[in-house]
Amino acid sequence: MAEPSLHFVQNGLRPTSKLVLCSLAAIALLLLDHRYDAIERGRTYIAATLYPLQWLAKQPINLTSEVTGYFQNQTRLLHENQTLKAQNTQLKLSLQQQQIQLQSAAQVMQQARLQQQALPQSQIAQIISSNSNPLSDRFIINKGSHDHVQAGDPVSDEKGVIGQVSSVQPFSAEVTLITSNNIAIPAMVMRTGVRTLVYGRSGGLDLRFFPANSSLQKGDLLVTSGLDSAYPTGIPIAMVEMAQSGSGSPYYRAQISPVASVRSSNFVLVIPQKKNRTAAIISPVPDK
């Protein structure tokens, strides 16, 4: 069996020698770079040669950064857009609420002024409910027998007669609109003083038996005459939209419309009725 040979001399340089040689080479390059322009020019040429490679190497990073930034901007813009839409919706709702509150406040102020000047015994009530049917002729107010409201009491808004109390609970009352078939109101023409009756008619008003030998014109105002148990004199009821006589009929052919905001009032005046006389809600009179 052959024995391994013994080597007493190592081939190549030791690590320490390599370190010393690299250090000397680095020092020499630093001195050359400091003292000779040729090294500087060589470095410039090398940098110019390597620039396209550096540019190409950076492009994936730049592209990734731009794509990431684009999607981040899109996400931020979508979020800001949603936030602005929500704020815009809130502002619109707030503005609408303020407008409604201002309208309600204006109604209350006008009714309070009317209450102080002409109807001091009346009281302001708020409409708290109406029938789900938009053509319903009834609504509920927040005043009742506890507030001395009675069936038959007239009800008006700041413009004119809107209805009459038809039933009463302790803390609420039901009001029937003047456009109901079950209501007839003694009235007179403000301009001439001629007395008549205004009838409710399925969402509108009728002036059925106004004599043709009296004067009636478009624009005439019909007010309460006071010749009943409920309504005081002089509250506006309706405006004459059209009046025609002749054709052999003893009565005018007329169209009238209520002056009150029958479908849009939020607050009303409840007016105490006269005592010990019949109520003004009567059965409908058949057309002739």
The pLDDT, as a whole number, for residue 270 is 92
Give me the half-sphere count of Cα atoms (radius 13 Å) on the Cβ side of residue 6. 1
* pTM above threshold 0.75: no
The pLDDT, as a whole number, for residue 173 is 95
Which residue, 238, 204, 235, 240, is CA-closest to 220? 240
Beta carbons within 8 Å of 261's beta carbon, 6+ residues apart: 157, 159, 162
The pLDDT, as a whole number, for residue 215 is 93
Is there a contact between 238 and 258 (Cβ–Cβ < 8 Å)? yes
| Parts of the chain with a pLDDT under 70 | 1-13, 32-40, 43, 89-90, 92-108, 110-119, 131-135, 274-288
The pLDDT, as a whole number, for residue 274 is 66
Whole-angstrom distance, CA of residue 200 vs CA of residue 207: 9
